[in-house]
Amino acid sequence: MTAEPQPIRRYTVEEYLQLEANSPEEKYEYNDGIVVPMREVHAKGREGEVLAMAGGSHHHVLIGSNLVGELRNRLKGTGCRAYTSDLRIRIPRKTLYTYPDGTIVCGEHQFDQHSSAGATLTNPRVIIEVLSPSTERFDRGDKFALYREIPSLAEYVLVSQLHPRVETFFRRDDGGWSFRSFDGLKAVLTLQAVKIGLPLTEIFSGVEFPPESAVPAIDPPAQ
């Protein structure tokens, strides 16, 4: 006899925050009632499924550490600060709590008043995601659509693990988004939202890229 699938539990925001308060060693993403541990990676996702970030790979952690460390140095004295994936953010109009790989905040920090388990930022200026094969479509698509709901967000940054490549989406004055791609270790990433440059050699320091034959095909960037 085949067991019937159990219904997916939906959490209230209060239950989610209490879960995080009771699990200091674990992080969870919350999307409209669905809670997913951030350490989990879904190899295949159904449309609308919440995908957790790939927090376990060596390259993922190394790239994120390189990037945030270099950003911190370059942002000193500017009124902006860079944070690692330990900082939780919330999309105001959509019920999404998540932990980007990197976040830049400028000026006064604004926090969610309903958070009971640590601080939840609501006004990031730059959000950075290190792409993983299992999460790339979500990061480029539905997650980016959610991030665009944040009024303060001026730039969204996607960093490849498979190539020396960084892509940026910058919010123009007319509300549209401009796309730029920085390719190759000789390139210098320009973050327009905070007016700094960062060589890709610094971002990918210590990273050994797989041979081209082992790299899966990816969709072209949304513009």
Does residue 161 form part of some domain? Answer: yes
> What domain range is 107 assigned to?
53-207
Q: 121: which residues sit within 8 A by CB, 6+ positions away?
A: 87, 88, 89, 90, 103, 105, 109, 110, 111, 112
Does residue 85 form part of some domain? Answer: yes
CA-CA distance, 150 to 167, in Å (whole number)? 19
CA proximity to 215, closest of 96, 87, 62, 59: 59
Q: pLDDT tens for residues 92-133?
A: 776 789 999 999 999 999 998 766 556 899 999 999 999 988
Q: Tell me what pLDDT residue 118 has.
A: 65
Residue type, 117: A
Does residue 95 form part of some domain? Answer: yes
Q: Tell me what pLDDT residue 2 has.
A: 57
Which parts of the chain sit beneath pLDDT 50?
A: 41-56, 213-214, 222-223
Q: pLDDT tens for residues 29-51?
A: 998 899 988 876 333 333 444 43
Total domains, the chain: 1
Does residue 19 form part of some domain? Answer: no
Does residue 171 form part of some domain? Answer: yes
Does residue 6 form part of some domain? Answer: no
Q: Tell me what pLDDT residue 54 has.
A: 37
Q: Tell me what pLDDT residue 179 has.
A: 98
Q: Tell me what pLDDT residue 78 has.
A: 95
Does residue 222 form part of some domain? Answer: no
Does residue 29 form part of some domain? Answer: no
pTM of the predicted model as reported, rounded to 2 decimal places: 0.84
Here the CATH number for the domain that contains residue 108 is 3.90.1570.10
